[in-house]
């Protein structure tokens, strides 16, 4: 009981500190002048006019859809120039829109405002943290939309390369084919040219890289719990409700592969379950902190708005029609039913089965703990789809990317079916314990 209480206190402290840090960073971001941000936003008008609404890089492939709709929304959140205090703006997250029938979507609304159209109104969007603004606002001081996308693309490439290098150095190269298959199926190129898709991907890769950089501990390591707690908090802070579970599934799969490689296969399922709970506490807890702050410190009852939105997103009503869980599953899986994605999966499995040749590898027996651990992670997207039906059905072009978790976990499990004949490094060189 005492250990459980200690964990609860630790969680509460991390949530409180994270909420304070997130609030202060937002407050500082909203103190920045917006004149240059508006200039760079105006310089981006032509880009949005050329791209249009939700363009597809490859016609007919919905996975290649660029979310210009939400990117425009993010920009107008960033360059909002009202007279309210920085405190009010960072909590209520205002933006300008039109309700006079002159604009039909967010892109047209943003362009109309930037071109000086009259009749705009102030709208509150405070149920999200909109933490991406602490990065977007400073960038928008110096760069336009195209430059910002280029920077994000470079950072994503660098983080992906880092994870691949770390997997190789940790003697976990067998996970690389699965990582590549996952990147192919979430359409890595499209993720890199859309701000909306970028934040979750960056958080997932950072979390995975951090786990790979950590020294493997022999016994329980409480810092791992903190990694998942903070990852959930960061997801809630930065994400605009895209494919948030990706930030849980990717590092969770890496953690399982690490434990399997280190021959620490006991209690893998329990560890996966506990760390998922930590992620969920961080995700939900950080969101609640924002609602409480906005409700207490402003005139907006964000708690009521948030609860109403949660019930709506979790419901089955979609534009007046009722959708079931199987409809949601089908809509998200359908987007991947294309030959290139099937080929990516087949190639990944083929590489895993042929890696090293027959002489260097041998099949091993799979323990139920290992099997159920990977199966648990692979099933997480479907749990999310069932819990958030309306959102997952309407925004399947975004939410299908959570299936990358299933692909990564599945291929890493297949990779674990084979084992090197040579002894692990810790058996080759065993350091002295210093106890004589």
Mark whether 153 and 82 lie in a shared domain: no
Q: Which helix (H) or strand (E) holds 195?
A: helix 195-213
Mark whether 161 and 295 lie in a shared domain: yes
Rounded distance, CA 248 to CA 130, Å? Answer: 20
Mark whether 256 and 116 lie in a shared domain: no
Mark whether 247 and 382 lie in a shared domain: yes
| Residue 181: domain span | 145-423
* pLDDT value of position 119: 87
In three-state secondary structure terms, 6 is: helix
The answer to whether position 432 is within a domain reads no
* pLDDT value of position 265: 58
The answer to whether position 176 is within a domain reads yes
Mark whether 112 and 183 lie in a shared domain: no
Boundary residue ending a domain (134, 167, 192):
134
The answer to whether position 430 is within a domain reads no
Residue with tokens 């998922």: 276
Rounded distance, CA 69 to CA 55, Å? Answer: 10
Two tokens, residue 417: 């079916």
The answer to whether position 16 is within a domain reads no
* pLDDT value of position 421: 38
Q: Which helix (H) or strand (E) holds 47?
A: helix 45-51
* pLDDT value of position 263: 64
Q: How far is CA 238 from CA 87, 213, 282, 286, 289, in A?
A: 18, 23, 13, 11, 14
Question: Would you give per-residue pLDDT tens digits along the chain (436 residues)?
Answer: 667 888 889 999 999 999 999 999 999 999 999 999 999 999 999 999 999 999 999 888 899 999 999 999 999 999 999 999 999 999 999 999 888 766 778 999 999 999 998 888 999 999 999 999 999 999 999 999 999 999 999 999 999 999 999 999 988 888 998 899 899 889 999 999 999 999 999 999 999 999 999 866 544 567 788 999 999 999 999 999 999 999 999 999 999 998 887 766 568 899 999 999 999 999 999 999 999 999 999 988 888 888 888 888 888 888 888 889 999 999 999 998 887 777 777 777 777 667 655 544 455 567 888 889 999 999 999 999 999 999 999 999 999 999 999 999 998 988 877 653 333 443 333 333 333 3
The pTM of the full predicted model, rounded to 2 decimals, is: 0.90
Mark whether 128 and 160 lie in a shared domain: no
Q: How far is CA 66 from the centre of its chain?
A: 17
Helix axes of 195-213 and 68-78: crossing angle, nearest 10 degrees? 90
**Cβ-contact 379, 269 below 8 angstroms:** no
First to last CA, the chain: 36
The answer to whether position 384 is within a domain reads yes
As for how many domains the chain has, the answer is 2
* pLDDT value of position 266: 66
Mark whether 122 and 164 lie in a shared domain: no
Two tokens, residue 409: 């976990």
Residues with Cβ < 8 Å from 409, sequence gap 6 or more? 249, 252, 253, 256, 374, 377, 378
Mark whether 286 and 419 lie in a shared domain: yes
Q: Exposed/middle/buried for 277, CB within 10 Å: 0-12, 13-18, 19+?
A: middle
* pLDDT value of position 220: 54
The answer to whether position 436 is within a domain reads no
Mark whether 223 and 327 lie in a shared domain: yes
The answer to whether position 428 is within a domain reads no
Buried b (16+ CB within 10 A) or exposed e, 20-52: eebbebbbebbebebeebbebbeebbeebeebe
Boundary residue ending a domain (134, 158, 175):
134
Boundary residue ending a domain (80, 108, 134):
134
Q: What is the DSSP letter of 84?
A: S
Rounded distance, CA 96 to CA 122, Å? Answer: 5
Rounded distance, CA 183 to CA 135, Å? Answer: 24
Q: How far is CA 361 from CA 257, 353, 355, 422, in A?
A: 17, 9, 8, 10
* pLDDT value of position 36: 96
Mark whether 396 and 250 lie in a shared domain: yes
User: Of 246, 259, 150, nearest to 206 (Cα)?
Assistant: 246
The answer to whether position 140 is within a domain reads no
Q: Which helix (H) or strand (E) holds 95?
A: strand 94-98
Mark whether 356 and 405 lie in a shared domain: yes
* pLDDT value of position 424: 43
In three-state secondary structure terms, 30 is: coil
Mark whether 125 and 160 lie in a shared domain: no
User: Of 71, 78, 74, nearest to 37 (Cα)?
Assistant: 78
């Amino acid at each position: 009981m005492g250990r459980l209480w200690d964990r609860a206190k630790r969680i509460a402290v991390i949530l409180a500190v994270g909420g304070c840090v997130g609030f202060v960073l937002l407050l500082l971001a909203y103190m920045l002048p917006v004149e240059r941000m508006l200039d760079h936003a105006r310089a981006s008008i032509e880009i949005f006019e050329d791209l249009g609404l939700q363009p597809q890089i490859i016609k007919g492939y919905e996975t290649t859809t660029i979310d210009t709709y939400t990117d425009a929304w993010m920009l107008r959140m960033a360059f909002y120039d009202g007279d309210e205090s920085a405190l009010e703006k960072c909590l209520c997250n205002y933006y300008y829109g039109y309700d006079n029938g002159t604009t039909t979507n967010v892109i047209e609304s943003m362009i109309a405002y930037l071109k000086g159209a009259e009749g705009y109104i102030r709208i509150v969007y405070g149920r999200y943290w909109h933490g991406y603004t602490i990065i977007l606002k400073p960038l928008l001081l110096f760069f336009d939309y195209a430059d910002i996308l280029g920077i994000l693309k470079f950072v994503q490439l660098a983080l992906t390369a880092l994870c691949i290098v770390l997997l190789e150095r940790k003697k976990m190269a067998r996970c690389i084919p699965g990582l590549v298959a996952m990147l192919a199926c979430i359409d890595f190129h499209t993720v890199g040219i859309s701000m909306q898709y970028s934040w979750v991907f960056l958080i997932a890769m950072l979390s995975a890289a951090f786990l790979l950089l950590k020294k493997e501990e022999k016994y329980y390591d409480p810092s791992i719990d903190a990694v998942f707690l903070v990852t959930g908090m960061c997801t809630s802070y930065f994400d605009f409700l895209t494919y948030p579970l990706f930030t849980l599934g990717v590092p969770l799969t890496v953690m399982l592969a690490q434990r399997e490689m280190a021959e620490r296969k006991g209690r893998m399922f329990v560890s996966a379950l506990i760390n998922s709970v930590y992620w969920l506490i961080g995700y939900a807890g950080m969101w609640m902190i924002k609602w409480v702050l906005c409700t207490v410190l402003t005139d907006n009852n964000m708690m009521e708005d948030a609860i109403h939105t949660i019930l709506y997103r979790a419901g089955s009503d979609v534009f007046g029609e009722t959708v079931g869980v199987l409809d949601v599953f089908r809509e998200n899986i359908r987007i991947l039913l294309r030959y290139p994605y099937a080929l990516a999966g087949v190639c990944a499995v083929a590489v895993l089965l042929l890696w090293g040749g027959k002489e260097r590898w041998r099949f091993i027996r799979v323990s139920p703990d290992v099997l159920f651990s990977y199966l648990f992670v692979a099933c997480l997207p479907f749990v999310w789809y069932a819990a958030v039906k309306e959102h997952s059905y309407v925004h399947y072009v975004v939410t299908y990317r959570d299936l990358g978790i299933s692909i990564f976990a599945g291929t890493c499990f297949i990779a674990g079916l084979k084992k090197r004949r040579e002894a692990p490094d810790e058996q080759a060189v065993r350091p002295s314990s210093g106890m004589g």
